[in-house]
């Protein structure tokens, strides 16, 4: 009995000593992997044509627009073949608008087949790059999607890279060269990641950022969409910002019709959003001038790109015929970045509309990023 007590006391002392040596458990931090489950990605609906890569559905920590720790989902794709040029690069790819409901999340589309932007992602995979793709805050995870809350989206894009390097078995390095690309919502997210990276994720070896169809000024874009066929996107941005900033209290400022319409739209994907709300205006949803309310003006200004120039080279591209985000919005962003000393390569595309701009500009952006990954200098046409 005495021997058993002595052995037990020795084990307790050893346990205490090991805890003292190890120190207290580290608090959860942005980029930490919560879970990483192997998954399969398909090119076509009906789970046809499996993409031959190693794939994980990842839950990881990030930071909300107001600075709180949150959990975001995403997908990581890593080519099966080794990378012959040293450390495998990591691309953080930011998707365009998918909608507000969890079923709209890019990870869900990749897993069932039919994710249109996989065509662009595949061009990175063919180069041997790993691609980390965030679903953004609240899209595919509990809680509402903070659609177009640029600060939250930029954090999610950067933390997708941190998480990718920490996924067990992925074989990626925290010192890998990094590139970021996105169009539309993804373009804003990529540009926000570029602005935030020096202060938020300075350890990342970011080589360049390609951002297309960028809705840099949400107020200007909302005014442009008001009453038009794509008004649903402006309304969805209102829902997303309201989710990010509870003091906006959008529901309290809506009329009965507005409350019913936006409650119904809260789980819709992009096609439903645009079709259900086409032709409506903010005046149809609220008795007050929402866009000129001080609380909205403050948050819209906070989420306006251009105040902080990126330190890495930036490739900005925009369709001349963009009917959703006027090219003047992107031209203004270009001018602000250039005047602040950023290295900007600007491309105005002949595309007649927003979607065609993604198709025309995507391959150009990918090749520009590939040169940055290789370490070649970027020229500016400011």
**CA neighbor of 324 nearest in space, from 358, 298, 284:** 358
- How is residue 376 annotated by DSSP? P
Tokens 């350890």 correspond to 203
Phi and psi at residue 36, to the nearest 5°: -145, 105
Which percentage of the chain shows pLDDT scores above 90? Answer: 91
- CB contact set of 382 (below 8 Å; sequence gap of 6+): 334, 337, 338, 342, 343, 344, 346
pLDDT, greater one: 357 or 10: 357
Tokens 């044509």 correspond to 49
> How much is the average pLDDT of 197-210?
98
Coil, strand, or helix at residue 43? strand
Burial 34-43 (b: 16+ CB within 10 A, else e): eebeebebbb
Write the pLDDT tens digit of every residue in 277-300: 999 999 999 999 999 999 999 999
In angstroms, the Cα distances linking 363 to 209, 250, 262, 368 are: 14, 39, 36, 9
> How much is the average pLDDT of 352-369?
98
Helix spans in 76-215 (H): 106-112, 118-126, 150-164, 185-200
- pLDDT category of residue 141 using cuts at 50, 70 and 90: very high
- pLDDT category of residue 19 using cuts at 50, 70 and 90: very low
Distance of CA 77 to the CA centre of its chain: 16
In angstroms, the Cα distances linking 107 to 113, 119, 292, 349 are: 10, 15, 36, 29
Q: What pairs with residue 208 in β-bridges? A: 179
Q: Are 233 and 324 in contact (CB under 8 A)?
A: yes
Write the pLDDT tens digit of every residue in 70-104: 999 999 999 999 999 999 999 999 999 999 999 99
Coil, strand, or helix at residue 131? strand
- How is residue 269 annotated by DSSP? B
Q: Are 300 and 223 in contact (CB under 8 A)?
A: no
Domains of the chain, with CATH numbers?
A: 33-217+304-373 (3.40.50.1820), 218-301 (1.10.260.130)
The predicted pLDDT at position 27 comes to 83
Structure-token pair, residue 44: 């076509």
Write the pLDDT tens digit of every residue in 22-35: 445 678 999 999 99
A 10 A CB-CB count for 190 gives 31
- pLDDT category of residue 6 using cuts at 50, 70 and 90: very low
Q: What pairs with residue 178 in β-bridges? A: 90, 206
The pLDDT mean for the chain works out to: 93
What is the number of residues in the chain?
Answer: 382
The predicted pLDDT at position 46 comes to 87
Write the pLDDT tens digit of every residue in 164-175: 999 999 999 999
Question: Cα(41)–Cα(55) distance, rounded to whole angstroms?
Answer: 7
The predicted pLDDT at position 25 comes to 63
The predicted pLDDT at position 9 comes to 43
Q: Are 361 and 330 in contact (CB under 8 A)?
A: no
Q: Comparing 39-48, 65-74, 290-299, which segment has the lowest mean pLDDT?
A: 39-48
Structure-token pair, residue 256: 């009965």
> How much is the average pLDDT of 101-109?
97
Element (H, E) at 139: none
Phi and psi at residue 132, to the nearest 5°: -105, 130
Coil, strand, or helix at residue 247? helix
- CB contact set of 11 (below 8 Å; sequence gap of 6+): none
Could you tell me the pTM of the whole model?
0.93
DSSP secondary structure string for all residues of 356-368? HHHHHHHHHHHHH
- pLDDT category of residue 48 using cuts at 50, 70 and 90: confident
Query: Angle 232-286-264 (CA atoms, 0-180°, nearest 5)?
Result: 45
Residue 230, pLDDT > 90, answer yes
Question: Cα(279)–Cα(291) distance, rounded to whole angstroms?
Answer: 18
Q: Are 245 and 148 in contact (CB under 8 A)?
A: no
């Amino acid at each position: 009995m005495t021997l058993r007590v002595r052995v037990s006391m020795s084990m307790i002392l050893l346990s205490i000593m090991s805890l003292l040596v190890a120190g207290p458990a580290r608090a959860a931090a942005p980029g930490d992997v919560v879970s990483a489950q192997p998954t399969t990605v398909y090119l076509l609906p009906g789970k046809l044509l499996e993409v031959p890569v190693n794939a994980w559905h990842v839950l990881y920590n990030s930071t909300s627009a107001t600075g709180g720790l949150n959990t975001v989902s995403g997908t990581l794709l890593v080519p099966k073949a080794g990378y012959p040029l040293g450390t495998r690069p990591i691309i953080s790819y930011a998707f365009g608008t998918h909608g507000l409901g969890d079923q709209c999340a890019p990870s869900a589309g990749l897993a069932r087949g039919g994710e249109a932007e996989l065509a662009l992602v595949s061009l990175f995979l063919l180069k041997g790059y790993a691609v980390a793709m965030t679903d953004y805050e609240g899209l595919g995870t509990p809680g509402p999607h903070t659609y177009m809350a640029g600060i939250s989206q930029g954090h999610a894009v950067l933390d997708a890279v941190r998480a990718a390097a920490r996924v067990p078995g992925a074989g990626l390095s925290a010192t890998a060269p990094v590139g970021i690309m996105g169009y539309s919502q993804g373009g804003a997210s990529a540009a926000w990641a570029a602005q935030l990276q020096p202060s938020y994720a300075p350890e990342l070896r970011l080589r360049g950022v390609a951002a297309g169809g960028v809705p840099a000024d949400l107020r200007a874009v909302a005014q442009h969409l008001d009453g038009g066929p794509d008004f649903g996107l402006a309304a969805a941005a209102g829902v997303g910002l309201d989710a990010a900033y509870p003091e906006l209290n959008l529901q309290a400022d809506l009329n009965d019709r507005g409350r019913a319409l936006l409650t119904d739209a809260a789980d819709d994907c992009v096609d439903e959003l645009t079709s259900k709300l086409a032709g409506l205006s903010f005046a149809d949803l609220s008795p007050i001038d929402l866009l000129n309310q001080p609380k909205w003006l403050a948050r819209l200004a906070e989420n306006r790109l251009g105040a902080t120039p990126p330190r890495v080279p930036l490739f900005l591209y925009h369709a001349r015929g963009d009917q959703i985000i006027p090219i003047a919005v992107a031209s203004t962003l270009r001018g602000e970045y250039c005047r602040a000393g950023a290295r900007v390569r600007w491309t105005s595309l002949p595309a007649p509309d927003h979607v065609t701009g993604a198709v025309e500009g995507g391959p150009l952006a990918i090749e520009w990023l590939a040169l940055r990954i290789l370490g070649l200098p970027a020229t500016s046409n400011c």
